[in-house]
Amino acid sequence: MGLLSACNISKHASNDARFLYKNKIQIQESKIARFYDADLMSQVKQMPNKKIVGIYRLGLRFFLLGAKGTDNKFKQFLRYQIGENPVIIDSTYIDASCKAMRAYLKTQGFYYPVIQYNIQGPAHRSIVQFNVSMGKPYTIYKIEQHIADPIIDSIVSSNADESYIRLGNPIKFENLLNEQNRISDLLRNNGYFGFTKEAITFDFDTLRFGQYQAMLGINIQNPEHFKNHYTYKVDSIHVVIEPSKDTFDFNAKKILFLREFSYASNGFPLKPSVLKSTLLFGPNSLFSQKKSNGTFQRLSDLQLFKTVNINTVAKNEQTDSARIDYAIRLVPASKYNFSIEPQLITTDQANLVSGSTFRNYGLATVFTSNINNIFRGAEILQFRYRISLEAQRGPTISEKPFFNSFESALNANLIFPKLLGFLTLDKAFENSINKTIISSSVLFEQNVNWKRTVFSLGLNYQFSKKQLTFQVTPSEISFIRTDFANNDLESKSKNDPYLQSIFANNLITNSRVGLLFNNQSVKKNNSYFFVRWDVLELAGIIPSAVYEIFKFPRSDSGYYQMFGVRFFNYAKTYADVRFNHFIDFNNKVVYRLAVGCALPFWNSAEYVPFDKRFFNGGANSIRAFLPRSLGPGAYNVEEQLDRSGDMKIEVNAEYRFNIFKRYFEGALFVDAGNIWRIKEDGRTEATFKFSEFYKQIAMGTGFGFRLNLDFLVFRIDWALPVMDPRKTLSKRFVLPNYIDPGILWDASILNFGVGYPF
C-alpha cells in the first residue's frame, strides 16, 4: 500500500502533460467492427505505459517514486532500471496513427474512411479515442483475365478455383498479394523457371459499374520484344559432398555417373540410393520450384549436413530447348554428437502406504549421444541415458537415507529417413518428411513403495509437413515387472484389488495413431494453437484374435496369457489442445483443454494397466490439489489408495504478464477437472455420468511467479481450492471457508516447477 499512496499519479500530470492511460477505437460500423478493431489498434503509434494484470502500471509508479525528493543512485535505479517513463500524449503520434489507419483501411477496400479523435478523462488518466467511419468498401463486380500467352492463360484458368480473388469480395491488398504469389508459384511449379511475380499486375475500373463496385483485371504480359515465357526442363544434376572445399572440384576418377545424377562423394560414406530417394526431380522433368524446395528440406532433415546449397544454372534461355542444371553442394556435419545435461528435478508421487502425496526433489543427469550415418544410409542411432536420485518424503518415511528413490533409464532409437517397407508410399509423400523409428528402452526404478523394471520395443512411422506431424505405431511391446519394497504395502495388497493391479506383471502389446499440430513458428509473436491428439491406442488385439481363432485354452485364472503373463486389452484416446492468445508483448492468456478416455475390454475387462490410467492434481494439472489426490469422481473414503480413472476432463486458463525486464513474470490461473471410472465398480459417485459429472468437478485458482531465462523457466505457484468434490455436495464450494485464516493456510498449496505448466 505504501507504493500506491506514495506515488499519486494525478499530482504529476497536467493539461500540458497529459498521461496516456488508454487508446480506444470506436468503429461506427458495429456489425463488422470485431474484424478490424485489433488491426486498427496495431496502427496506433503511441501506446500507454505497461500494465500488470491489465490495470496496474507498476513501472510508471516506480519511475515517479524515483523522481521524488533528492536524487541519488538508488532513485536513478528506480527510474531507469525498474521504472518506465510516463507516456505523455503527443499530437504528432496521434496524427501519424490516423494516417496509418487510413492507409490500412485502403488495403481492405475502404477508400474513403473518416477518422477523427478526441481526448477524454482527467490529465492523469487520459483516453485517446479514435472515431472511425470506414464507409462502404469497393467490391469486385467482375474479373477479367488479360494474359498474352495462351498456354499460361490455360494453366491459370484451370486453377481458378484456388484464387484468392472472388466476386463480391472487397478489394483487399492482402488478397492481391496472395493471388500474385499463388500465380507465380503455380507457373514456376509448371516449368516456368524465369517467371517472376513482378510480371503479374492488377488494374481497376470503377467507372463502368455501380457505386462502390469495380472490375478487377489480372494482367500477365509477355517479356520484352514480344517474346514468350518458356518452360525449362532439368538437364543434369550434380551432387558433390565437400567437407572442406569452398568450390566444386569435379574429378572424373572420383565421380559416379548414375542415370539420374552424378555423384562425387569425396570419401564420404553415403549410399547413392539415399540421394536418389531424396531428389524429387530428375533429368528431362519440368522445373518445379516446389520440388526444389522439397529436396532442400529433405536433404536438411537428414541431419547429416551442416550446409546444403542447391544452385540452378539456366541454359539456352528464352528458347524452346531451355534447360536447367542443378549443382548441389553438401558439407557434412560431425558424425558423433555427445552432450551431458545436469538437472534439478521435482516430481509428484503418492505414498501408497499412507495415501498421502508430497512433492519430491532430487538430482538427475542426462547423457545423450548421436551417431550419424551409421549404416551409410543416413540412419541415426540415438542413445539417451538418464539417472536420477530423489528424496521421497512423507510422515511414515524415514529421512535416512536422504535420497531414497533411484531411477535409471536407457533409450535407444534407430532412425531411418524413409518409410521402411513402404518405399512406394514414401516416394508418393514427396512433400512431407518421412521417418521410420525403431525404439527400445529399459528402465529400473526403486523407491519406498516398489522396485520396477520396464522393457519396451516399438516401431513408429512419422509423416511431417509444415506444422503437422502424423505418427503411426503399428506395434509396440512393453513388459512391466513390479515387486514390493514395503512389507506393509505387500500385506495390505492381499485385500486391495487396486494394489494388486499395480503390482501384477503387465504385458502390453499395442498400436497407436496420433497427430501433433503447432503453428507457433508461423505466427511468431502472435496467437497460436498447439494440439496433441493420441487419436487411438489399441492393445492386445492381435494376440486376442489369435487365441480366439485357434481356441487356445485360458489360464487357471480365466485369462489368456503370453509367456506366462496376462496381457491387456484396452482402447484409449487422449487430446491436449492449447490456445496461446497473444494480447501484446507484455500480456497473454493461455487456454488448455485435456480430455482422455481408456476403455478396458476382453482379456482385461476390469481395468487398464496402471501406467495407462489418468490422474489429477499437481504442479502441471489442477494446482490447488496435491498430486494424485482427486477422484475418481466424488468418491472419497478414509485411507483411500486408488485415485486413478479411465476418463479425464481438465480445463485450464492462465493469464501471464511481464513484471520486470521480461525476466520476471507473473500469472493468474484457474484450473478445473476430474477423473472418473467408466465401468461401475461399486464405489459411490466414482463412475462418469452425464447427469452428474459437472457436480464432481474440482476447481482451484491462484497466482504465480516465473523467472524466465529464455533457455529455462523456474516457476512457483500458490493455489487454493474453490470447488472440492471430495466433500459432500452441499459443502463442495469451499471459498467461503477461507474467512478463517487457519483454514486458508491449511488449504493453500505451493507448487514449484521447471517450465510452464502447459
Residue 60 has pLDDT above 90, yes or no: no
pLDDT computed for residue 575 by the predictor: 97
Q: Count of domains in the chain?
A: 3
Q: What is the distance between the alpha carbons of residues 645 and 606, in angstroms, rounded to a whole number?
A: 12
The predicted-structure confidence for 452-475, as pLDDT tens digits, reads as follows 899 999 999 998 888 899 999 999
The CATH number covering residue 188 comes to 3.10.20
pLDDT in tens, 596-618: 999 998 888 888 888 889 998 88
- Can you give the pLDDT at residue 58? 77
On whether both 116 and 200 belong to a single domain, the answer is no
| Residue-number span of the structural domain to which 17 is assigned | 2-48+87-133
pLDDT of residue 6: 45
In this structure, of 81-85, 136-140, 168-172, 239-243, the range with the lowest mean pLDDT score is 81-85
Say whether pLDDT at 661 is over 80. no
CB 240 within 8 A of CB 330: yes
Is the pLDDT at 248 greater than 90? The verdict is no
Residue 32 belongs to a domain with what CATH number?
3.10.20.310
Overall average pLDDT of the 124-131 stretch: 93
Is residue 20, in this structure, part of any structural domain at all? yes
In contact, 713 and 677? CB cutoff 8 Å: no
Which contiguous run of DSSP H or E holds residue 294? Answer: helix 289-301
Spell out the residues 6+ positions from residue 581 whose beta carbon is closer than 8 angstroms to its own: 527, 588, 589, 590, 591
What is the per-residue pLDDT for 357? 52
Q: What is the pLDDT of residue 346?
A: 66
pLDDT at 1: 39
Read off the pLDDT band of 207 (50, 70, 90): confident
- Tens of pLDDT, residue by residue over 469-509, are 999 999 999 998 888 777 777 777 677 776 777 777 788 88
* Shared-domain flag, residues 21 and 127: yes
Q: In the predicted model, is pLDDT for residue 251 greater than 60?
A: no
Helices (H), 434-576: 487-493, 497-503, 541-549
Q: What pLDDT score does 209 carry?
A: 63
Block residue for cell numbers 524466465: 708
pLDDT of residue 13: 66
pLDDT of the residue at 83: 80
| CA nearest to 200, candidates 141, 154, 160, 148 | 148
The set of cell numbers assigned to 626 is: 496435491
Host H or E run for residue 474: strand 468-484
Confidence band for 270, pLDDT divided at 50, 70 and 90: very high
Question: Does residue 382 have a pLDDT over 50?
Answer: yes
562 vs 556: which has the higher pLDDT: 562
Q: Which residue has the higher pLDDT, 184 or 526?
A: 184
Average per-residue pLDDT for the chain: 87
Question: Of 181, 200, 226, at which residue does a domain stop?
Answer: 226
Element (H, E) at 384: strand 380-391
Q: How far apart are the first and last CA of the chain?
A: 33
Structure-block grid coordinates of residue 95:
496524427
Looking at residue 106, its pLDDT comes to 93
Beta-strand runs (E) in 44-189: 114-120, 126-133, 139-147
d(CA 444, CA 2): 55
pLDDT at 535: 96
Residue 6 shares a structural domain with residue 129? yes
Residue 154 lies in a domain: yes
Residue 16 shares a structural domain with residue 128: yes
Residue 34 placed within a domain: yes
SS (HEC) of 534-562: EEEEEECHHHHHHHHHCCCCCCCCCCCEE
Predicted local confidence at residue 4, as pLDDT: 41
Task: Say if 32 falls within a structural domain.
Answer: yes
Q: Which residues are within 8 A (CB) of 753 and not within 5 positions of it... i.e. 6 or more apart?
A: 346, 619, 620, 714, 715, 716, 717
Looking at the structure, tell me whether residues 8 and 128 fall in a common domain. yes
* pLDDT for 5: 43
For residue 54, the model assigns a pLDDT of: 62
- Asked whether residue 195 falls in the same domain as residue 293, the answer is no
250, pLDDT greater than 60 = no
Percent share of the chain, pLDDT over 70: 91
Please give the average per-residue pLDDT across 364-391, as a whole number.
93
The Cα–Cα gap between 182 and 152 comes to 13
Of the three residues 173, 191, 226, the one that is the final residue of a domain is 226
For the stretch 404-420, pLDDT in tens is: 788 999 999 999 998 98
Residues 163 and 125 in one domain: no
Q: Give residue-wise pLDDT tens across range 563-591.
A: 778 888 999 999 999 999 988 778 899 99
Q: Which of 75, 103, 133 is the last residue of a domain?
A: 133
